[in-house]
Structure 1
Amino acid sequence: MIPKASQRGGGQDLATHLLNAFDNEYVEVAEVSGAIAPDLHGAFAEWEAVAHGLTRCRNYLYSLSINPDPEHGPLSRDQYRAYADRVEKALGLEGQPRALVFHIKDGREHCHVVWSRIDYQTEKAVHIAFDREKLMMVTREFAREHGLALPKGYGPERSDEPRRKASAYERAQERATGLSKEERMVMVTQAWRQSDSPRAFVRALEDMGYILATGNRPYVLVDIYGAMNALPKLIDDRAVRTKDIRAFLSKAFPPESLPTVDEARALAAQHRKAREQFAKARDDGRQREQLARAQAVRREKLIVEQAAKRARQEEERRALARQQLAERQYQRGQYLAEVSRIRQRRAEARPTGLAAFLGRVTGVSAVIRQVHRYQDARRYLAFRNEKRALTARQGHEVADLERRHAMQALDMARHVKALDTVDARERKALEERRVREQRAQDRGSAQHMPALSLDLKPRGRGASVRKAKNRHQDTLRGREDRLPRGPAVPGLKEDMARAAQPPPGREEAVDLRSAFAQAADDGRGDGGDGGDDGRITVTRATRRGERERTRGRKRGDFERER
């Protein structure tokens, strides 16, 4: 198996990623321990609250991905749990809250284990050091005990070739283009070797979807997706040096005549946006409808559960109201029954005849009435106090019930919010897949290149895009006789040779010096805007001269104001 682990924060984003049912064919939350909430979003939120309340730890989670070797078949659930327990013991995470999630992606089952690093008893985060070496040790022991073959890099064999890890920029570029750096290097190197002229080489680069531009150093390539790479680094030939590339391209394509990286990215963004909008308009929306139906089924379960919970809450309110009413009626009935018994007993004990006469004459009857009146008042005050205590107790019960229902409502709202987040992530994944598929189709066709010859109107980019477009068109003069569109590899050498010949009527070379001079004259006359007349109207030297003249005019105006 191949373990991948990291210390990280962002529990809510991780929970959304683990519950993404679009990128995974099967998602199962097998275990959530050490938390009150039974779901991932709630559990990770609890662990984050504990981390922020007790410690200053930001990466409060330890995430492990267990990927079985496809050549040796899947693992059982018991084996997954046994491996997770070994890792837990090796890293000092025993007893820590954890979550287990099983995925099936592209027919391959794998497991994700997430631990909380915060020990609430010591109020510290579990220190994890040398986890890569410990994971390799656990993997070796587990493979030996279960008769599994070790993956490449875990055995005693050593490779003479140095392993280079792709940078984050290269990984992002590969996700956007679908091509790795090695594949791009193969394509550019093949074009370099099969091109016998600078124009043929630049034309081959354009057919592959690159714009030749100039950055901090001359000669960089900007692809249709806006990613920038230095041209010398994409030529996989140690015999070719940067000075050789500059010498090869400098006569036909001087650096000052090429668009800047920002201008090239603006041109590529226009073309890419137009193509993606056209592809989106052609999309029949079947995948979106299918995803929407799956999300509706999942949401329907949550809606049914919420409706059942609301019905239970209403029934609890009614039951509590009936119970409290019964208690109040019982208390009042008990008081009235006692009063009735006392009155009856007094009536039976009331004297008659001579005893009643003597009681009135002697005043004993008046004293007895005063005593009875005092006893009735004491009895009523006790009843009133009991009634007030019962009312207060019942008020607390109602408040507790309302508070519990409010917490349940918040929990339901949290579930809805988490589901909305997962739905949005799945829609985003669908859109990314659609764009990747469309870009793969574009790479297979001839229309994926940034067509600088198209009449694309810049939107909000100002004149810089038009300047770059005109300057690039003028520099690449004689390209009306273009290569036939299609995959550039078969017959590329013959196409490059034919493309290197200038078209009829355009045999003259590009006089860059006169074009620069003309651009500078135009800049002195109208402020250096240049317009869309197809000439090379703006260069770095012209811009520098314009800035100096502008500062001079501003300085003169300031002196006159003084």
Structure 2
Amino acid sequence: MIPFASQRGGGQDLASHLQNAYDNELTEVVEIRGAVASDLHGAFKEWEVQAETLTRCQKYLYSMSINPDPAQGELTRAQYLEYIGRAEAALGLADQPRAVVFHVKHGREHCHVVWSRIDAEHQKAVHIAFDREKLMQVTRSFARDNFLDLPAGYQKSRQKGQDTLYERTQQNQTGLSKTDHKQQVTEAWRHSDDARSFVQALAERGYILATGKRPYVLVDLYGGMHALSKLIDDKAVRTKDLRAFLAKDFPEESLPSVAEAEELAARHRKQIEQTQTDDRLADRLTALKHAQQLRRLALTQEQVARHRQHQQEREQLVSRHRAERHAQRHEHTSRMESTRVKRHEMRVTGLAGFLGRVTGVTAVRRAVHRYRDGKLLEAQRQQRTELANHQDEEKKLLAARQQRQTLAGERKITSLEKVEKREVAALKRDEIRKERVRERGPGNDMASLAQPHKTQAPEIEPNKAFLQAAAPAKEEVPDLRGEFWRAADEREDNSREDDDRGQQPEKDKPQRRR
């Protein structure tokens, strides 16, 4: 069980990476907690908005990958979730939103967990300190409880550390590991007599001596930047001594910057790779596009079905509302008609009617009827208003729900487009890496930057300072042994002349001129 974790931003790029089906045989989003959206791009965007509105946190995500040792067998999902629970409890992320994604790559299953560091309730970011030590403790306890062996690096006898993310990315793009670079630079160092021959040997191996945050760095043919002192595999070589060794012939102000060196390397690389075409990518791109179309077809069918469902829901709602209004209108009309019929049946005629008109009882009865009819009409008007408001609210709720579903579908399509771009970029990256490995040949040597490529067209003279630095020395390498013996002979001759001059008489000594 080896965890890799870091605080980071760039949620959209991370979501595309986690759903990249080209680099992984299987991608499965198991859980999204604490987000309204059901996809990674939407969830990470929500957490990014929280970070921007509630805090000033830039690295609002905490990403961790869990890689079990294949030699000890696969872990169950329950064991993965147990480890995740222990890790988030130790890091203080127990109640934070998270996403869990499982990958299968080269037949090996591993897990990615991404937490949001933003505590929306308290409007602050969760502070994570000493996370590596905490994860090491969690790994030790988990391995002990599940009878697993600790991976290398968790024992007291610690060996070489893991490569950084930058080094792994460079290796994926070029096919050259840090060990390969160290071997090339160390070989150039051991076969060089002075600073100029060392820089010339570096240029022949595809490296440019430049200056950046450090006085002396290397930029390779593919644009990768390396610390020169870390690529010389000799414990006797210290950074201070290396700077003193180069400072005389190559002062810092005479070297190109990292940006200039990268531009120079890009021009050389373009000349070398200009014969490459997309024909080699055609077959693989066609297969990838076909797989992407099949995956997109499911979303398209889902979108069409959702559109039909929305249309059907709207039609059903309109029919139901029409039926409710018709039923209410029929109820009101029936009640008014029944009241009129009942009053007609109970009307007073004959002598009683005459006496009622004379005494005013009929007038009072009519006034009471008008009052009751007014109340009834007011109640019916209120009922119609309430029904209309209720139906309008239902229309708004239905429209809002359908809009959310439509936006969610569009967001899935947008997310899929980002994933597809990442997959195409990964395919091209692999093809470029294979081509670069093929160009380097069995010796794994990069093209020389000291001499123009055979197919290189005339171009503007690159950085003059670097060409002067990379050019072989015009002066011959001094013969230190011969110079030493000549100096010794001259010193011996001078001492003999002094002895002879001391033995001359006083009168024979030359007079000093005034």
Looking at structure 2, the residues matched to 122 and 79 of structure 1 have their Cα atoms a distance apart, in angstroms, of 32
Tell me the equivalent position of 1:298: 295
Tell me the equivalent position of 2:486: none
Cα distance per residue 1:116-153 (max 9 Å; x no partner) = 33445555444433222222122122212222111112
Is 367-376 or 333-342 further displaced after alignment? 367-376
Alignment of 1:47-58 (within 5 A): 47-58=47-58
Is 420-429 or 359-368 further displaced after alignment? 359-368
* RMSD of aligned Cα (Å): 4.1
Tell me the equivalent position of 1:141: 141
Looking at structure 1, the residues matched to 345 and 181 of structure 2 have their Cα atoms a distance apart, in angstroms, of 113
Tell me the equivalent position of 2:440: 443
1:238 CA drift (Å): 6.0
Residue pair 2:196, 2:469 contacting (<8 A) in 1 also: no
Change (3 A) 1:268 1:427: same
Tell me the equivalent position of 1:270: 267
- For 1:427, which of 414, 424, 429 is the aligned residue? 424
Looking at structure 2, the residues matched to 4 and 238 of structure 1 have their Cα atoms a distance apart, in angstroms, of 29
1:325 CA drift (Å): 1.0
Residue pair 2:33, 2:98 contacting (<8 A) in 1 also: yes
Change (3 A) 1:2 1:393: same
Length, aligned pairs only? 466
Looking at structure 1, the residues matched to 36 and 49 of structure 2 have their Cα atoms a distance apart, in angstroms, of 13
Residue pair 1:270, 1:456 contacting (<8 A) in 2 also: no
Change (3 A) 1:467 1:37: closer
- For 1:339, which of 336, 339, 345 is the aligned residue? 336
Looking at structure 1, the residues matched to 108 and 418 of structure 2 have their Cα atoms a distance apart, in angstroms, of 25
The alignment's TM-score, normalised by the length of structure 1, stands at: 0.70
Cα distance per residue 1:458-514 (max 9 Å; x no partner) = 4xxxx44397899899x579xxxxxxxxxxxxxxxxxxxxxxxxxxxxxxx899xxx
Residue pair 2:91, 2:128 contacting (<8 A) in 1 also: yes
The letter for the 2-side match of 1:396 is E
3-state SS in 1 of match to 2:27? strand
Is 364-373 or 277-286 further displaced after alignment? 364-373
Cα distance per residue 1:55-89 (max 9 Å; x no partner) = 44443333221111233222122221222222233
Looking at structure 2, the residues matched to 72 and 238 of structure 1 have their Cα atoms a distance apart, in angstroms, of 37
Alignment of 1:71-220 (within 5 A): 71-156=71-156, 158-159=157-158, 163=160, 173-191=170-188, 193=190, 208-210=205-207
The letter for the 1-side match of 2:424 is R
Cα distance per residue 1:247-289 (max 9 Å; x no partner) = 9x97xxx999x99567665443223224444323332412222
Residue pair 1:263, 1:468 contacting (<8 A) in 2 also: no
Residue pair 1:189, 1:236 contacting (<8 A) in 2 also: yes
3-state SS in 2 of match to 1:139? helix
Is 463-472 or 181-190 further displaced after alignment? 463-472
The letter for the 2-side match of 1:27 is T
Residue pair 2:210, 2:219 contacting (<8 A) in 1 also: no
Alignment of 1:328-477 (within 5 A): 328-352=325-349, 372-373=369-370, 375-444=372-441, 448-450=447-449, 452=452, 454-458=455-459, 463-465=460-462
Unpaired runs of 5+ residues, structure 1, are: 478-508, 512-562
Instruction: Between the two structures, name the one with larger relative contact order (CA 8 Å, sep ≥ 6).
Output: 2
Identity of aligned residues (%): 49
Tell me the equivalent position of 1:8: 8
Looking at structure 1, the residues matched to 232 and 414 of structure 2 have their Cα atoms a distance apart, in angstroms, of 49
Change (3 A) 1:381 1:167: closer
Alignment of 1:235-250 (within 5 A): 235-237=232-234, 242=242
Residue pair 1:64, 1:114 contacting (<8 A) in 2 also: yes
1:455 CA drift (Å): 4.7
1:60 aligns with 2:60: yes
3-state SS in 2 of match to 1:115? strand
- For 2:278, which of 273, 276, 281 is the aligned residue? 281
Is 78-87 or 339-348 further displaced after alignment? 339-348
The letter for the 2-side match of 1:102 is F
Looking at structure 2, the residues matched to 189 and 63 of structure 1 have their Cα atoms a distance apart, in angstroms, of 36
Unpaired runs of 5+ residues, structure 2, are: 477-514
Alignment of 1:509-528 (within 5 A): none
Tell me the equivalent position of 2:500: none
Residue pair 1:90, 1:134 contacting (<8 A) in 2 also: yes
The alignment's TM-score, normalised by the length of structure 2, stands at: 0.75
3-state SS in 2 of match to 1:134? helix
3-state SS in 2 of match to 1:285? helix
1:433 CA drift (Å): 1.7
1:164 CA drift (Å): 6.2
3-state SS in 2 of match to 1:278? coil
3-state SS in 2 of match to 1:154? coil
1:303 CA drift (Å): 1.9
Cα distance per residue 1:283-321 (max 9 Å; x no partner) = 241222222122222222222222222222222211221
Cα distance per residue 1:150-193 (max 9 Å; x no partner) = 1112124x24x7x5676676556544432233322322433555
Change (3 A) 1:282 1:195: farther
Looking at structure 2, the residues matched to 218 and 402 of structure 1 have their Cα atoms a distance apart, in angstroms, of 63
Looking at structure 2, the residues matched to 228 and 88 of structure 1 have their Cα atoms a distance apart, in angstroms, of 35
The letter for the 2-side match of 1:416 is I
Residue pair 2:33, 2:99 contacting (<8 A) in 1 also: yes
Residue pair 1:103, 1:111 contacting (<8 A) in 2 also: yes
Change (3 A) 1:337 1:464: same
Residue pair 2:60, 2:117 contacting (<8 A) in 1 also: yes
Is 139-148 or 112-121 further displaced after alignment? 112-121
1:333 CA drift (Å): 0.6
Alignment of 1:485-524 (within 5 A): none
Change (3 A) 1:128 1:203: closer
Cα distance per residue 1:3-29 (max 9 Å; x no partner) = 122233333332222111111111111
3-state SS in 2 of match to 1:465? coil
Looking at structure 2, the residues matched to 81 and 7 of structure 1 have their Cα atoms a distance apart, in angstroms, of 21
Change (3 A) 1:260 1:366: closer
